[in-house]
A and B are shown apart, each in its own frame.
Chain A
Amino acid sequence: ELKVEQNPLFLSMQEGKNYTIYCNYSTTSDRLYWYRQDPGKSLESLFVLLSNGAVKQEGRLMASLDTKARLSTLHITAAVHDLSATYFCAVATFTNFGNEKLTFGTGTRLTIIP
């Protein structure tokens, strides 16, 4: 059974600081997604990482994937209040017919303090 672990689960950080959220998973996969969820809202897709060594950046967020280590990171640079949200990673596995399923991590609730 695939396990997807995120840490930390809760993170409070000051504006302007840098930090990294980690996503570890227990089985082979070379496809991973990051999502953002604001309180009471749905999930918004942030990044799709499709191969070992993939790196994607959007604004103050950068995601990377190391499939050999079974690890993805979401790095936040110079945090601003608008980044306060819960962030989920989701690991893709495939059925016998090649269709994709996602297993989600438990989420990291990020609070940016002015």
Chain B
Amino acid sequence: DADVTQTPRNRITKTGKRIMLECSQTKGHDRMYWYRQDPGLGLRLIYYSFDVKDINKGEISDGYSVSRQAQAKFSLSLESAIPNQTALYFCATSDFRGRQFFGPGTRLTVL
């Protein structure tokens, strides 16, 4: 079984809808991250959490929110989706050594 899983893997939605992307991990890591990937822009950090009680904004947090329900679960929400949030979203985890392990990604399309 994969160590970092994301659901759904693909989602098509309409402008204005609320969307939640979920991430679960079995690696036992405290640190979890959400990134978005756009062509030609690499990965950009949306939010990160270093433990259950810690939530931090990344470089592009506007329009997004997160919830760390447990050590193993970190959800990303788009409160009112807009077309420029169409992207590939990755969840990642890391331990104290820092190396990050990525989930398979969620491809989100906002029409």
Docked Cα-Cα span, A13 to B92, in Å, equals 31
Q: Which of A52-60, A62-70, A76-84, A103-111 contacts B (4 or more CB under 8 A)?
A: A103-111
Contacts of B99 in A (CB 8 A): 33, 45, 48
Which residues of the other chain, B, contact A95 by a CB distance below 8 angstroms? 50, 56
**Contact between B42 and A43 (Cβ–Cβ < 8 Å)?**
no
Least Cβ–Cβ distance between B72 and chain A, in angstroms: 18
B40 touches A106 (CB 8 A): yes
A9 within 8 A of B: yes
B102 touching A106, Cβ below 8 Å = no
Q: Answer whether residue B101 sits at the interface, using C-beta atoms and an 8 A cutoff.
A: yes
Q: A22-53 vs B: 1/0 string, CB under 8 Å?
A: 00000000010100000001111100100000
How many A residues face the partner with a CB closer than 8 A?
Answer: 24
CB distance from B21 to the nearest CB of A (A): 14
A101–B90 alpha-carbon span in the complex (Å): 15
Interface residues of A in 87-108 (CB under 8 A from B): 88, 90, 92, 95, 97, 99-107
Most chain A Cβ neighbours within 10 Å, of B42, B90, B102: B42
Question: Total number of A-B contacts with CB less than 8 angstroms?
Answer: 50
A92–B90 touching, CB < 8 Å: no
Q: A48-B98, A48-B99 are in contact. List 15 more A-B contacts (CB 8 A).
A: A9-B40, A33-B99, A41-B104, A42-B105, A45-B101, A92-B98, A95-B56, A97-B50, A99-B31, A99-B50, A101-B48, A102-B100, A104-B43, A104-B44, A106-B41
- 11 A-B residue pairs with Cβ-Cβ distance under 8 Å, sorted by A, are A9-B40, A43-B90, A43-B102, A44-B102, A48-B99, A90-B100, A97-B50, A100-B94, A100-B98, A102-B100, A104-B35
